[in-house]
Homo-oligomer: A and B are copies of this chain.
Amino acid sequence: MAKTRRTDAPITVDGRARAVIENVRPEVDNGRYPIKRTVGEAVTVEADVFVDGHDKLASLLLYRRDDEREWAEVPMAPLGNDRWSASFRVTEAGRYRYTVIAWVDHFQSWRHELTRRPDTDPDLKMVFLTGAELVTRAAANITGRDAERLGAIARTLSGSATVVEKRRVALSEEIAELMNRHAERRFVTRYEKEWMIEVDRERARFSSWYEFFPRSCDSDKHGSFRDCEARLRYVASMGFDVVYLPPVHPIGRSFRKGPNNTLTAKPDDVGSPWAIGAKDGGHKSVHPELGTLEDFRWFVATAGELDLEVALDIAYQCSPDHPYVKQHPEWFRRRSDGSVQYAENPPKKYQDIYPFDFECESWQELWRELKSVMEFWIGEGVRIFRVDNPHTKPFLFWEWVIGEIKRTHPDVLFLSEAFTRPKVMHRLSKLGFTCSYTYFTWRNTKRELTDYFTELTRAEGREYFRSHVWPNTPDILNEYLQFGGRPAFMVRLVLAATLAASYGIYGPAFELAETQAREPGSEEYLDSEKYQLRRWDLDRPDSLRDFIARVNRIRRDNPALQGDRDLRFHAVDNDKLICYSKTAEDLSDIVLVVVNLDPHHRQSGWVELPLDMLGVKDEQPYQMHDLLTGSRFIWNGTRNYVELDPQTSPAHIFRLRRRVRTEHDFDYYM
């Protein structure tokens, strides 16, 4: 043999850690961002785990809260094709991390080989001795009952017992359990990464929002917080849990917009709440006509008594009258003539709005000030922010400010109002926004809804992008609502409230089915509340108030509707009818929704269901209980008939009741 050449290159790995761990999922962007869950939800982790040769592996999922040191362990189980899986539940808001370890389990390998050795194998005696050695080594590390049991097993394997007896002991459940607990973990491979989880309180996943303008809550004059008590009761009676207010700060005078966004406001025009800042103060002040800071506190407390949480609008922009403009001129961009650069999207000019210049020299001071705005309102009891146009401020700012806030207040939630390009919306969700507005507002056909919600609930984004869906907003009155009449509002309400666990409406325009756009082709409301006070007749007999209350009640009663991960669409042989189901994790609650998307005509068709997925046996009839109307239908098999008249009820929200009673259920049968 030729003389071995030696090199001095040091070997830097632990070469005996033979197990390989790859492709640990879920994760977001190589771990750059955490996946998201809410308190109580399961995290199911999968990984490719394998080893060279034929040895058997043991693998554990490790997880812990970010601020704890001890890892909890869950055994991974093989799914086939070298894919393994395990689950755990997150129990507190905040950050968690997880990773996977694996090692060659020589005892399992030995046991597996033993099952394949015939009794005639001449080496069998030696094989049992090898087993005894493995058991003895495991026993060496412990004391007590388990050590005794392992000792006894080792003696049997190495002693004079029959092959049959040794085989019985070697393959027993007891030895498997004991060795699982105590066998040496040698040469452990650890996945190179730890992935993160951002855990929020439950409302991040399941919430029903109602947006309204407090200034329009009084029928005679500019409403104030104190005037809103009846309105809050009204909102609570419909089963909402979040009231979201447009900005509550002093409104600028310079370039104030008049009704219908006209350029010249009259002195008594109220202006847009998004033109923030006046001599009375800026982002940390309350508009005098709404009341005082104390009135705001009263409003938050009153809402709280009705189980309503207040969400505040955060719009980081200034009217020319904002105190910042004088106190911090360095935070704004200058034009060549020295004047402050207003917002512009040529040829449009927005002279009533000064954007911050995030590229200014004192950007760090600006960031800290903007953060202090949120901290101020957190101090006033607010825990939800609806952030206006986050896609026009730097991503790094949001990542920093949300991270800082959540570090001390993990219960604060952020809704991103970014109606923009998909990758921008996704980035905002990745970097920290709890949930995001969606394109739902413009998805009306069966194809559009199916494609979009399949993407939202099945594509990669499901790990970090939580949808918040709105049939209308003060900015958007979609043509489907403009032309579909009252049934269209019912359709869109049911879709929003059952396709997504989090949804909201802008009222009372919604429940009163306001359909007037400013002009043909526009999605702006005529006489929009953004620029003027509006009077609403909440008691109109055609109000959808009761219908909305029923839908929200159904949402509260059915866990299936409180999450989005298990949404599935089902075939109907009529393109005007859409059908989908949502299920609770354990199939204890199954909700099937059928909606007639045609607000004008009665539609009928045959629904096709994957019964096995819903836990129904093929030959067994099952009851469909329509929670909207109370009607019950007996269905059987995979194909069943539905018919929906928009003038009566444009939708079924069925709860599937799996068993239909038969003669066996009655006493007199026996």
Chain A 1-54 residues near chain B, CB threshold 8 A: 1-2, 4-7, 9, 11, 13-18, 20, 22-23, 29-32, 48, 50, 52-54
A474 contacts the other chain (CB 8 A): no
Separation of A615 and B347 alpha carbons in the complex (Å): 42
Q: A1 and B392: CB pair below 8 A? A: no
Chain A 415-445 residues near chain B, CB threshold 8 A: 421-424, 427
Partner of A1, one of B23, B123, B323: B323
* Residues of the B chain whose Cβ atoms lie less than 8 Å from the Cβ of A22: 29, 423, 427
What string of 1s and 0s marks CB contacts (under 8 Å) between A353-364 and chain B? 000001100011
Partner of A335, one of B11, B126, B284, B364: B126
* Residues of the B chain whose Cβ atoms lie less than 8 Å from the Cβ of A393: 52-53
Q: A52 and B16: CB pair below 8 A? A: no
Separation of A369 and B7 alpha carbons in the complex (Å): 10
A394 contacts the other chain (CB 8 A): yes
Separation of A363 and B130 alpha carbons in the complex (Å): 22
Separation of A396 and B116 alpha carbons in the complex (Å): 29
A546 contacts the other chain (CB 8 A): no
A536 contacts the other chain (CB 8 A): no
Separation of A344 and B372 alpha carbons in the complex (Å): 69
* Residues of the B chain whose Cβ atoms lie less than 8 Å from the Cβ of A121: 346-347
A336 contacts the other chain (CB 8 A): yes
With contacts A82-B423, A424-B50 taken as known, whether A368 is within 8 angstroms of B29 at the C-beta atoms is: no
* Residues of the B chain whose Cβ atoms lie less than 8 Å from the Cβ of A535: none
A450 contacts the other chain (CB 8 A): no
Q: B15 and A364: CB pair below 8 A? A: yes
A345 contacts the other chain (CB 8 A): yes
Q: B116 and A368: CB pair below 8 A? A: no
What string of 1s and 0s marks CB contacts (under 8 Å) between A325-338 and chain B? 00100000001110
Residue of B nearest to A364 (CB): B11
Q: B423 and A15: CB pair below 8 A? A: no
Q: A368 and B117: CB pair below 8 A? A: no
Q: A1 and B52: CB pair below 8 A? A: no
* Residues of the B chain whose Cβ atoms lie less than 8 Å from the Cβ of A20: 395, 427
A521 contacts the other chain (CB 8 A): no
Separation of A20 and B420 alpha carbons in the complex (Å): 15
Separation of A32 and B20 alpha carbons in the complex (Å): 13
A133 contacts the other chain (CB 8 A): yes
Residue of B nearest to A158 (CB): B336
Partner of A50, one of B50, B376, B400, B421: B421
Q: A336 and B129: CB pair below 8 A? A: yes
Q: B52 and A395: CB pair below 8 A? A: yes
Q: A133 and B336: CB pair below 8 A? A: yes
Separation of A127 and B372 alpha carbons in the complex (Å): 35
What string of 1s and 0s marks CB contacts (under 8 Å) between A57-72 and chain B? 0000000000000000
Residue of B nearest to A187 (CB): B359
* Residues of the B chain whose Cβ atoms lie less than 8 Å from the Cβ of A53: 391-393
Q: A11 and B52: CB pair below 8 A? A: no
How many chain A residues touch B (CB < 8 A): the figure is 83
Q: B335 and A82: CB pair below 8 A? A: no
* Residues of the B chain whose Cβ atoms lie less than 8 Å from the Cβ of A7: 368, 371, 404
CB of A447 to closest CB in B, whole Å: 20
A285 contacts the other chain (CB 8 A): yes
Separation of A29 and B423 alpha carbons in the complex (Å): 22
A148 contacts the other chain (CB 8 A): no
Q: B81 and A423: CB pair below 8 A? A: yes
What string of 1s and 0s marks CB contacts (under 8 Å) between A276-288 and chain B? 0000011011000
Separation of A121 and B358 alpha carbons in the complex (Å): 26
A307 contacts the other chain (CB 8 A): no
A589 contacts the other chain (CB 8 A): no
Partner of A400, one of B11, B18, B113: B11
With contacts A323-B1, A392-B53 taken as known, whether A113 is within 8 angstroms of B346 at the C-beta atoms is: yes
Q: A421 and B52: CB pair below 8 A? A: no
* Residues of the B chain whose Cβ atoms lie less than 8 Å from the Cβ of A421: 50, 81-82
With contacts A368-B6, A376-B2, A404-B9 taken as known, whether A81 is within 8 angstroms of B422 at the C-beta atoms is: yes
CB of A418 to closest CB in B, whole Å: 10
* Residues of the B chain whose Cβ atoms lie less than 8 Å from the Cβ of A455: none
* Residues of the B chain whose Cβ atoms lie less than 8 Å from the Cβ of A359: 16, 18, 104, 186-187
CB of A358 to closest CB in B, whole Å: 7
A367 contacts the other chain (CB 8 A): yes
Q: A424 and B82: CB pair below 8 A? A: yes
Partner of A126, one of B6, B32, B323, B336: B336
Residue of B nearest to A393 (CB): B52
Chain A 574-600 residues near chain B, CB threshold 8 A: none
Chain A 228-252 residues near chain B, CB threshold 8 A: none
* Residues of the B chain whose Cβ atoms lie less than 8 Å from the Cβ of A411: none
A184 contacts the other chain (CB 8 A): no
A397 contacts the other chain (CB 8 A): yes
Q: B369 and A15: CB pair below 8 A? A: no
Separation of A629 and B133 alpha carbons in the complex (Å): 68
Separation of A53 and B133 alpha carbons in the complex (Å): 68
Residue of B nearest to A390 (CB): B52
CB of A6 to closest CB in B, whole Å: 6
Q: B30 and A367: CB pair below 8 A? A: no
Residue of B nearest to A361 (CB): B16
CB of A429 to closest CB in B, whole Å: 13
Q: B18 and A345: CB pair below 8 A? A: no
Separation of A57 and B397 alpha carbons in the complex (Å): 19
Separation of A30 and B31 alpha carbons in the complex (Å): 9
* Residues of the B chain whose Cβ atoms lie less than 8 Å from the Cβ of A400: 11, 13, 15
CB of A414 to closest CB in B, whole Å: 16
* Residues of the B chain whose Cβ atoms lie less than 8 Å from the Cβ of A193: 30
Separation of A192 and B391 alpha carbons in the complex (Å): 21
Q: List 12 A-B contacts (CB under 8 A).
A: A1-B285, A2-B376, A6-B372, A15-B363, A16-B359, A22-B29, A22-B423, A52-B424, A82-B423, A118-B347, A129-B336, A130-B335
> Can you name 7 extra interface pairs (CB under 8 A) apart from A14-B396, A130-B336, A186-B359?
A7-B404, A15-B364, A18-B395, A23-B29, A52-B392, A118-B347, A126-B337
**Which 4 residue pairs spanning A and B have beta carbons closest together?**
A116-B346, A129-B336, A2-B284, A30-B30
